[in-house]
Amino acid sequence: MTVEIDQSRFENLAFDVHDDGVWVVTLNRPTKRNALDLATIDELVDFFATAPRAGVKAVVLAGSGDHFCAGLDLIEHHDADRSPADFMHVCLRWHEAFNKMEYGGVPVIAALQGAVVGGGLELASSAHIRVMDQSTYFGLPEGQRGLFTGGGATIRVADLVGKARMIDMMLTGRVYQGQEAVDLGLAQYIVEGSSMDKAMDLARRAAQNLPLTNFAICSAISHMQNMSSFDAAYSEAVVAGVVNTQPAARERLAAFADKTAARVRPNS
Ligand code: 1HE
């Protein structure tokens, strides 16, 4: 069951497809600092709904230009003069996109630079791995704009940094950057050079895992966090029953048994 991703459908996302199944997906509105208008959200829903059935082994999510993403398209929001119901539906569409990322089963590695703010941080926090560089900074400027988060920050950003820090970021406009952002959990990696190079390296490594194993890692763990420990343990057993008996794993287990598989060693 493989479906095709018709790249001609997309205007705000650009794709670079590699032979090893890694897709680089780039938010492509640099003149608007990759602000998320509705059309871009629709394209994210479209891509991430299809990717798990299209043989995409890993995604590197990037932003073109100097900034990853400036969050909600404030100009579109201003001009549309939306009703509460309209904006609720906008938010539900954002949730659909970001849930498809987090729960879709395809590893998503965000390559971050410059501003990762507001809805941009909500987008980044839906990725499984975040890589930042020295220019990257994180903020939730909603408070200063007279707005509130609507793309899942109350769940995902609070999960990464804790409730108190998220409230401080929103109340005071506090920005995090550098090693401190990594120490807080906003990113897992910080690099001196390009976040893209490191993200590609991580994506290539993840793409070598069996797809069903990656599916479990990039779907089941998030689902299980939403369950009681009792139900999560049960679900873990069911998922492990399926994943750990997959025929494709036998070769890897045999390689361990005959001592040809790499051993786990400390970093040199
Ligand atoms: C935008 C947006 C945007 C830039 N919507 N158009 N997000 C924010 O509050 C962040 C708002 N943006 C910024 O603080 C800055 O633009 C940046 C730090 C991201 C970049 O600064 P800079 O100096 O490189 O760019 P700029 O000169 O501010 O903007 C360049 C252009 O991008 C300009 O358009 P132009 O047509 O006048 O050239 C800006 O209008 C445009 N632009 N950011 C629309 N966000 C589901 S709820 C989520 C709620 C939120 O995300 S609230 C947080 C919104």
Domain assignments of the chain as residue spans, ordered by start: 7-207, 227-257
CA 75 to centroid of ligand 1, rounded, Å: 9
Residue 213: predicted pLDDT:
98
Q: State the pLDDT confidence band at 221, using cuts at 50, 70 and 90.
A: very high
The catalytic position among 11, 76, 122, 251 is: 122
CB of residue 71 inside a 6 A radius of ligand 1: yes
Q: State the pLDDT confidence band at 189, using cuts at 50, 70 and 90.
A: very high
CB of residue 118 inside a 6 A radius of ligand 1: yes
- pLDDT of 165 higher than 80: yes
With tokens 């991430």, the residue in question is 48
Among residues 156, 146, 222, the alpha carbon closest in space to that of 138 is found at 156
Residue 65: predicted pLDDT:
98
CB of residue 37 inside a 6 A radius of ligand 1: no
Q: State the pLDDT confidence band at 139, using cuts at 50, 70 and 90.
A: very high
Among residues 175, 169, 63, 44, the alpha carbon closest in space to that of 112 is found at 63
The pLDDT of 134-149, averaged and rounded, is: 98
The structure tokens listed for 159 are 């999960």
- pLDDT of 263 higher than 90: yes
**Closest atom of ligand 1 relative to the 144 alpha carbon:** 9
Q: What is the rounded distance in angstroms from the CA atom of residue 113 to the CA atom of residue 137?
A: 8
Domain boundaries 7-207, CATH class: alpha beta
pLDDT digits (tens, 9 = 90+) for 88-138: 999 999 999 999 999 999 999 999 999 999 999 999 999 999 999 999 999
CA 219 to centroid of ligand 1, rounded, Å: 32
CB of residue 72 inside a 6 A radius of ligand 1: yes
Q: If you average pLDDT over every residue of the chain, what do you get? A: 98
- pLDDT of 1 higher than 80: no
Q: What is the rounded distance in angstroms from the CA atom of residue 80 to the CA atom of residue 84?
A: 12
CB of residue 107 inside a 6 A radius of ligand 1: no
142 is catalytic: yes
Residue 19: predicted pLDDT:
96
Q: What is the rounded distance in angstroms from the CA atom of residue 112 to the CA atom of residue 186?
A: 11
The catalytic position among 4, 11, 142, 251 is: 142
Residue 111: predicted pLDDT:
99
The pLDDT of 230-257, averaged and rounded, is: 98
Considering Cα of 209, then 214, then 216, then 220, what sign does the dihedral take?
positive
122 is catalytic: yes
- What CA dihedral angle connects 75, 147, 68 and 5, to 10 degrees? -70
Query: DSSP string spanning the chain?
Result: ------GGG-SSEEEEE-TTSEEEEEE--GGGTT-B-HHHHHHHHHHHHHGGGTT--EEEEEESSS-SB--B-HHHHHHHT--HHHHHHHHHHHHHHHHHHHHSSS-EEEE--SEEETHHHHHHTTSSEEEE-TT-EEE-THHHHT----SSHHHHHHHHH-HHHHHHHHHH---EEHHHHHHHTS-SEE-SS-HHHHHHHHHHHHHTS-HHHHHIIIIIHHHHHTS-HHHHHHHHHHHHHHHTT-HHHHHHHHHHHTT-SPPP----
The pLDDT of 53-58, averaged and rounded, is: 97
Residue 236: predicted pLDDT:
98
Q: How many CA atoms lie within 13 A of 99 on its CB side?
A: 10
Residue 15: predicted pLDDT:
98
